[in-house]
Amino acid sequence: MVIIRSKMFILRPYKRGDEASLRKNINNKKIYRNTLRIPYPYTKKDAHFWVSCNLKFNKEKKKSEINFVIDIEDELVGSIGFSKIKGHKAEIGYWLAEKYWGQGIMAEAVKLATKIGFKKLKLKRIYATVFSSNKASMHVLENNGYKFEGIMKKHYKKNNRFMDVHLYAKVK
């Protein structure tokens, strides 16, 4: 699996031992509110399950999902990856510990992951769905050349509420 070093962080695969910093940095209501698959509160069991899933994903010959840790000073402070990998397309998703918001870290991570998607995974389309309230994530995507394609009304159901999402994509 790919390891990329930037000036701000390292993108690397998940490994055993990531569970404690994963739980510490993801266990935040604001992160939960802006994501679909992350539970709150985030338990030790959730962390062990997610790290185990990623170790299995990494062993797959035909990748269905690939996730990278955003590592700053040997601590997992966020993650970025591709899910729903099917043929020429995949969905990009990400989160970052609140302590690191507004520092350009996620913009750089999206840039690097997008390059991996196009070059290593040979994707032709990378897309993202963003809750309508998550303006920061929309900004990160737009700054990385992702184009707004529309609003999907009541696309997801979270907390017994139907959620609209903005669809963004970048094609090669």
The pLDDT of residue 2 is: 83
Q: Stretch 62-74: mean pLDDT, rounded?
A: 96
Is there a cis peptide before residue 13, judged by omega within 30 degrees of 0? no
| Residue pLDDT, tens place only, 99-129 | 999 999 999 999 999 999 999 999 999 999 9
Q: Which is nearest to 43 in space by CA: 23, 15, 20?
A: 23
Provide the edge-to-edge strand list for the sheet that holds 89-96.
4-5, 10-13, 66-72, 75-86, 89-96, 125-131, 161-171, 147-158
Query: Do β-strands 161-171 and 147-158 pair in parallel, antiparallel, or remain unpaired?
Result: antiparallel
Ramachandran area for residue 102 (φ above 0: left; ψ -120 to 50: alpha; else beta): left
User: What is the length of the chain?
Assistant: 172
Q: What is the pTM of this model?
A: 0.96
pLDDT at 64: 93
Q: What CATH class is the domain 4-171? A: alpha beta
Backbone angles phi, psi at 85, to 5 degrees: -70, 115
Domain spans, the chain:
4-171
Q: What is the mean pLDDT of residues 15-43?
A: 97
- The residues, ordered by sequence, that sit 6+ positions from 86 with a Cβ below 8 Å of its Cβ are none
